[in-house]
Amino acid sequence: MHKYEYFCHGNGKIITLNLKHILIMKMKFSLFTLLAAVVIIAASCKSNSASDENLAPNVHKAKVEEVIQTSNYTYLRISEKDSESWIAITKAEVKEGKYYYYEAGIEMTDFVSKELKRTFPLIMFVDKFSDQPIVAKITMADSMKGKQAPEAKTGIKVDPAKGGITIAELYANRDKYEGKVVKIRGEVVKYSAEIMKTNWVHIQDGTSTDGAFDLTVTTNDVTKVGDVVTFEGTVSLKKDFGAGYYYEVIVEKAKLLTQM
**Can you give the pTM of this predicted structure?**
0.55
Instruction: Find all residues with CB under 8 Å of 86, minimum gap 6, and list them.
Output: 75, 76, 77, 78, 120, 122, 123, 124
SS (H, E, C) 47-71: HHHHHHHCECCCEEEEEEEEEEECC
**233-253: pLDDT as tens digits:** 999 999 988 766 789 999 999
Query: What's residue 23's pLDDT?
Result: 54
* 56 strand-pairing partners: none
Measured distance CA(103)–CA(124) in Å, rounded: 10
The rounded distance, in Å, linking the Cα atoms of 208 and 67 is 38
d(CA 94, CA 130): 10
Rounded CA gap, 180 and 247, in Å? 17
User: Are the C-beta atoms of residues 114 and 134 closer than 8 Å to each other?
Assistant: no
CB environment 40-76: b (16+ within 10 A), e (fewer): eeeeeeeeeeeeeeebbeebbebebeebeeeebbbbb
Give me the pLDDT at residue 38, please. 46
pLDDT tens series, the chain, 260 aa: 555 454 444 445 555 555 555 555 555 555 555 455 445 545 444 445 545 667 777 889 999 999 999 998 999 999 998 899 999 999 999 999 999 999 988 888 999 998 999 999 999 999 889 999 987 653 433 433 445 567 888 899 999 999 999 999 999 999 999 999 999 999 999 998 888 889 999 999 999 998 899 999 999 999 999 999 999 999 999 998 876 678 999 999 999 998 77
